[in-house]
Chain A
C-alpha cells in the first residue's frame, strides 16, 4: 500500500523549503511510479510539480532573483493549504491549490526562464517518460502527467528505454510480412 497524498505533500513542502533538490527529485520519481501503478492523477500532478520545483532550485538565475523568493513563499503557502485540504479529504480544494502552484511555476518561468519551452511542460514530458518506463503505453503515460504525446514520443526516442526491450519480431521478419501483404501473397 502506498502512502497517502497528504504524506507526499508534507514531504514536498519540507524538501522544497529546505532546498533538498536531489531528494525532491527522488520524491517526484517515487510519486510517478506510484501514480503509474495506481493510475493516480493527483500523485502524478504532484510528481510533476516536485520535479519542476527541483529543476528551478538548481538554476542559479532563479535563485539569484528576488522575484523567485517571493514566488517560493507563495508556493510554500499553497503546498501547506493543499496539505490541509488533503488531510480534510477536500479534493476540490486540493486540486485548486495544486493548480495555483502550477500557475505560479509557469508565470515565474515565463519571466525568468531562458527557454521557449517552459520548465513545467518539460517536467510533464520527462516524468511521463518515467511513467512509460513502468510499462504504461505512450498515450496512458502522456495522459497521466498531461504531457503532449508528440513531445513524449520524441523524448522517448532519444532514450535507451526501447533498446532494453526484446522485440517479438525483427525488422527482417516484419519487412517480409509487409512485402507479402502488399504483394497479395499473405
Chain B
C-alpha cells in the first residue's frame, strides 16, 4: 500500500527516537512509503550540513538508503498536478476580496504524489492540509477567529479540492504510534506498558505533532 509521508512526520520520529518503532510498523504492515524530492531536500540534504540537525537528518537518510522510504522525483505530471492543487487550495478562502494562501509548494507536491501514485494515506503532523481535506469549514472558522476577519469561502473550489482527495486518509505520527503500540511494534525498543505508550504519545506532541492533551488522555482512558 502506497503512503506519502511528510517531512514533519519523519522529523517527529527521528527527533523522538521512535524511528525504530516506526520502521517496524511500516515493515510489518508492508507500507510503501514515498516522499517527494523536495521533502528529501528539506528533511535530509539541507539539515545534514547543520550540526544541530545533522543527526536527525542522518536517521532519515538511513530510511532512504534502506529503501524504507522511496524518494520520487517530480515528473512533469506531478508538477502539473501540483500547480492545479495550489490553484484550487489557494482560492478556497478569501479575506477582503483577496485569496488566502493555504498551501505551499511542498505540501501541494506531496498531495500530487499521493494522487498520482494512488496512495491510500498521507502521514502528516501539520494541521492545515488535514483541515482542508477533512473539514474546510473548521479551517475557515480558525482563520476567522485567529485573524479577527471575515473569511469568505468559495464552496466550488472547496468541493473540487475535497473531491480530488476523497479517498485519501490522513494520519499523524501520534496515530501511527498508537497503532504501533497495539500491534507490538514497541518490542525490543520499549516495554509494552501504559507508561511507555503515554510517554511516546506525548513525545510526538512535544515534537510538534498537532494533537491535543485531551485527545491523548481520551485515548489512554479508552484503552484502560
Contacts and interface: CB of A to CB of B under 8 A. Distances in A.
Interface residues of A, number: 43
A174 B175 contact: yes
Interface size class, chain B? 35 or more
A171 to B, nearest CB: 4
A139 B104 contact: yes
Most buried by A among B1, B104, B134: B104
Chain A contact residues: helix, strand, loop or mixed: helix
A170 B217 CA distance: 11
A139 B127 CA distance: 11
Contact of A39 (B101, B129, B206, B211): B101
Contacts of A155: 208
B76 interface: no
Chain B contact residues: helix, strand, loop or mixed: helix
Interface string A101-139: 000000000000000110000000000000001111111
Contact of B149 (A37, A140, A162, A166): A37
Nearest to A142: B104
A148 to B, nearest CB: 8
Contacts of B207: 153-154, 157
Interface stretch (B66-74, B77-85, B176-184): B176-184
Given A137-B103, A179-B179, A165 B126 contact: no
A22 interface: no
Contacts of B11: 150, 153
Contacts of B208: 138, 152-157
Given A137-B103, A157-B208, A170-B215, A175 B178 contact: yes
B103 A163 contact: no
Nearest to A169: B134
Nearest to A33: B147
A162 to B, nearest CB: 5
Interface of A: 33, 36-37, 39, 116-117, 133-140, 143, 148-150, 152-158, 162-163, 165-172, 174-175, 177-179, 181-182, 186
